Every structure is written in C-alpha cells, then in structure tokens.
Chains A and B, each alone.
Chain A
Amino acid sequence: MKFNQIDSDLLNTIASITEVPKGAVNIRKDGQPLIRMSSPNIIIKPKEDKPGIDVIVKPGTKNESVHIPVLVTQAGLQDLVYNTFEIGEDADVTIIAGCGIHNESHQDSGHDGIHEFIIKPKARVRYVEKHYGAGSGRGKKVLNPTTVVRIGSEAYAEMEMVQIEGVDDTYRKTIAYVEDKAHLKIVERLLTHRRQSAQSDIEISIEGKGGSAQILSRSVGKDESYQVFKASMIGKTECTGHVECDSIIMGNAVIKAIPSLEAENSEAVLTHEAAIGKIAGEQLIKLMSLGLTEEEAVNTIIEGFLR
C-alpha cells in the first residue's frame, strides 16, 4: 500500500511510519478504516454498536507492537471513535497511537478519541500517543482525547502523550485506576503557540495496596497561547504517588498548573512539584557560548525540555 504525500507526512510525524508496519495495524482515515490487520496474538476487530475497534492482546504475548494511528484530512470532519484495549495477563506490548490532522479549509476539523484500557495482572504496556496538526487553512484543528485506564495487580503501564504542534484546541481527559502493586507512569509533553488552547485533566486513583503512580508533565506555552494542567492523585491505601509539572512560559502565554493530592489512608505517600518560568538566561548564554544563535539556543532548550 502506498500513502499519498499528506498521509505519509502525518504518519511519519505521529507514528514514525513510512510504510505499513509489521504486526497488528489499524490506520483510520477520515472516519473510515484504511488498513486493518491482526496478528496471531493481537486481534483487532470493529465494534458493532459504535465506531471504533477492540484490540485484544492474548495473555503471555511478548515484545509485540500495535500501530493504530488516525488521520483526518477531510475539511470539516468531526471524527469520533471508541477504542478498547484489553491486554492479557503477563503480556508485554507497545501501542503506537496518535492523530494527525491536515486542514487546508476554513472549516474546523477534529478527532475525539475515547480510549479504554483494561490491563490484566502482570501485563506490561507502553502506550505512545502523538498529536499533530498541519495545513494552512483558517479552520481549527481540534483534538479531544479521553483515556480511561484500569491497571490490574502487579501490572505496569507507561503512557507517553505528546502534542507536538499545530493543534489549535485540545481538551485531554485521563482517568486511571491502579490496583495492588501495579505501577502507572504518565508522561505528558505539550507545546502551544499562537492563540492555541490546551487543557489537560489527569486523575489517578491508587486503589490497591503497594500501588504507585507518577505524572510527569512538561509544557511550553508560546505567543498568546493558553494552557491549563490539572493533575489529581488520590491514594486510597498504602501507596506512593508523585506529580511533577514543569512549564516554560514565553511571549504572552498564560499557563495554569493545578496539582492536587488526596490521601485517604495514613500509609499513602503523595508528593508534588510544580514550576512555571521562562528560559533561564544562563542556559541561553551557555549554549550561545558554544556557538548557537539565541534563536537556535531557545529551540534547543525547548526541544530537549519536551523530549
């Protein structure tokens, strides 16, 4: 299968795909399946009652990956999709998701992805989701992902959610439940510029004894953009949780960081750090002393910060 140039650029940016990847794949374009392939251990099947897919990873599956990128290139399309991931006991998989919107029109285009993860005991999952907008149209590129995760006992999930650039409006909602001795790590990277707006609400409830969770958020707000980051960690039993939100603010951007901790058990250990500030002058000078221009130094610092 050969992708057209726009599809190819979007796929490369959001999922590092230049050709159809091996293993289980589901590429959705403009509300329709473009490619769908299961593998012996990972079954992808369409939902019967609503748009979307079920991804079922058989117990014990090791070192396999699933690619499920979404493309929106049709002017004015508001795509809505429900995806469910069931990761079998003791499986170890990587899920590469992401959405790229290309909008050359004056109509808004958007994608709302509602994801549910059921991670069975002792499974390990790495989930990578990149969001990106391109095209010179006046129409907005809007992405509103909702993610619900339930992590079974002794399971591990690492979720990396990145908004690279070009997304005008986003509201991300992430809810997670962590059971006995399970661990969840959420890494969020966000860049907004011009008049873009981004809100991210993350709520993690650690419900099982010995469970742990981390939220690490880094964002850069440029120009006139606006960001709100809310991170809520609830410890219901003996557990550990940490929230860290770090932002670089530039131009006339506005950034709000609202970490929240709630301990419902005296054995819960919950911590948070939050910092918002401009790029330190000494960092710029240091990189300029190595020969970078001021603009190159700023870009290098931001690139590293959001890596």
Chain B
Amino acid sequence: MLRLEQVSMSVNDSNGGNKDILHNIDLDFTSGKLYAITGPNGGGKTSLAKVIMGIYDLSAGQIFLHDEEISHLTVSERAHKGIAYAFQQPPRFKGLTVSDLLKIAYGDIDIMGLRKSLRDVGLCPEDYLDRDVGPGLSGGEMKRIEIAQVLARQATISIFDEPEAGVDLWTIQRLIGIIVNRFKDNPNCTAIIITHNENVLPICDEIIVLEEGRIRDRGTYQEIWPSIREDIECKRRLECRGEFGYEI
C-alpha cells in the first residue's frame, strides 16, 4: 500500500552545512494493519511522518502509494490521494471553529455527523462545535479535536503523531480503542501511530524502532519488546550511575 524506498531527509544546520535526519529508510506498510513507530527522542519519527505527508521534502529516495509514486506531490495532493496526518502539536487558529475544521476534514457532513465525531473522541459536541480552535482550548482538547479530524478524513493511510501526548488517562484508552476499532483488520486502510506509550505497542501488528534516523528494529511486539525493555533498563542504569556515582 505505502512504500518508502531509500528515503533520506536532511536539514540545514547552523554551520551552513547539512544535517541528516533520515538515512536510506526502506519501509512498507500494508493495508489492514496497525503500525507503531517508536524510538528515542530525536530519532526521526515525526520527520518520517512529515516526509510521508509531504510537509518535508526528501533529499533522496521515493515514496509510493498503491505503486504510484507520490514523492513529488504537494501536501494537499497527498491528502486527496488518501494520506492523513494528526499533528503532534496541532496549530491554533483565530476565528476558525472546531466545526469549521471538521467540515473541511469531512468535505460534506451534516450536524449529526459532526456531533458524533466529537463524541467519539470524548468531547461533548454542544461544548465544542462553536469554539475557536484557539488559545481557549487545552493541549489535550486540541489533540482530541485533531484526532477527530483525521478520523473524519477516512483516509487510506492515517498517521497519528503521539496521540497520547497531553491527553488524560481517562481518555487515552478510549482514543486507542477508537483507533483500533477503525483500523485493525480493516482491509481498506492502515494506521501508523508514533508513540512513546508502552500500552499502545502491544495492540499494534508491527513495531518499527527508529533511532538516529535509521530503522533499528522491526517486528511484532513479542519480537521487539525484549530489546526495547533491555534498552530502557540499560539507559536507566547509565543515568543512575551518572547521577549517583554507582549502579543500582
């Protein structure tokens, strides 16, 4: 369904040179599966998502959707092809309401549909539909509204960038449940969840570990989790040694 071949991406650094963010990434995502992308901060997860959405340009490589190359397409062209992206930090707008954004996301929807899409993410429609997507909303509310928009797109590939960030404990399970229900075993679509939440990993069909812009590991939860856990333990021991001068 979605295939990345030798994808690299770099940015200008402060010395006038280039800094590589992604190195020769080869990945394929098939329909009906739920993928998690995880890994240490700064590993390139969000950059990878933005490269797929067309927000960042590739420095090398190609991206294919249904065997059609989309590397040259704009963000809106990729949206029309069926790629949707829930931003890690959704932007705020002065004067645009929750209802405005949902209507754009759906294209055509009645009021009942709008209400349902908010209820699905745990928000009361009466309290939110007419509110500005501005400073009056908390980070958690912004994330839920962002997820509602991506669900509304009914896209072939939906990418959720840290959907759990800023969302309260009572809602995160519900959001994950909605994503699982929508995407798990659905032969028409694929979801990619960028996450640091270890509760999300077991529900995904496949986990991709990205580190320093490279794929370090890829496999099922059972295959991958031991190495991730070992990595976390190792890092914890190193941090403790640094702080206390001895290992615990």
Contacts and interface: CB of A to CB of B under 8 A. Distances in A.
A287 B104 contact: yes
A298 to B, nearest CB: 12
A218 B69 CA distance: 43
Interface of B is mostly: mixed
A280 B91 contact: yes
A40 interface: no
A214 to B, nearest CB: 16
Interface stretch (B77-85, B175-183, B225-233): B77-85
Nearest to B102: A290
Q: Which 7 pairs of residues, A with B, have the shortest CB-CB distance?
A: A304-B95, A304-B96, A288-B75, A291-B79, A288-B76, A282-B91, A305-B95
A287 B149 CA distance: 11
A9 interface: no
Contacts of B97: 304
A288 B84 CA distance: 10
A218 B79 contact: no
A290 B104 contact: yes
Contacts of A106: none
Nearest to A306: B95
Interface string B46-88: 0000000101000000000000000000111001100011010
B93 A292 contact: no
A246 B94 contact: yes
Interface string A95-138: 00000000000000000000000000000000000000000000
B124 to A, nearest CB: 23
Given A286-B87, A292-B104, A304 B94 contact: yes
Contacts of B76: 288-289, 291-294, 297
Contacts of B80: 291
A300 B105 contact: no
Contact of B104 (A218, A283, A291, A305): A291
A307 interface: yes
Given A246-B94, A291-B80, A291-B107, 5 more contacts: A286-B90, A289-B85, A289-B87, A297-B76, A301-B96
Given A285-B75, A301-B96, A290 B101 contact: yes
B105 A290 contact: yes
Contacts of A289: 53, 55, 75-76, 79, 84-85, 87
A133 B153 CA distance: 38
A287 B85 CA distance: 11
Contacts of B94: 218, 246, 304-305
B154 to A, nearest CB: 12
B100 interface: yes
Interface of A is mostly: helix
A290 B93 contact: no
Contacts of A290: 79, 101, 104-105, 149, 153
B141 to A, nearest CB: 16
A293 B94 CA distance: 20
A283 B134 CA distance: 12
Contacts of B104: 287, 290-292, 300
Given A288-B74, A290-B105, A290-B149, A283 B93 contact: yes
B101 A307 contact: no
Nearest to B85: A289
Interface in B177-216: none
B201 to A, nearest CB: 26
Nearest to A275: B94
Contacts of A291: 76, 79-80, 104-105, 107, 153
A301 B93 contact: yes
B47 to A, nearest CB: 14
Contacts of B79: 288-291
Contacts of B93: 283, 301, 304
Contacts of B101: 290
Interface in B86-119: 87, 90-91, 93-97, 100-101, 104-105, 107
A102 to B, nearest CB: 28
Contacts of B149: 290
Nearest to A286: B91
A282 B133 CA distance: 14
Contacts of B84: 289
Interface string B147-163: 00100010000000000
Contacts of A218: 94-95
A21 B89 CA distance: 47
A286 B84 CA distance: 10
A300 B149 CA distance: 16
Contacts of A305: 94-95
Contacts of B105: 290-291
Contacts of A280: 91
Nearest to B81: A291
Nearest to A291: B79
A304 B97 CA distance: 8
Q: Which of B90, B100, B104, B105 is packed against the most chain A CB atoms within 10 Å? A: B104
A307 B94 CA distance: 9
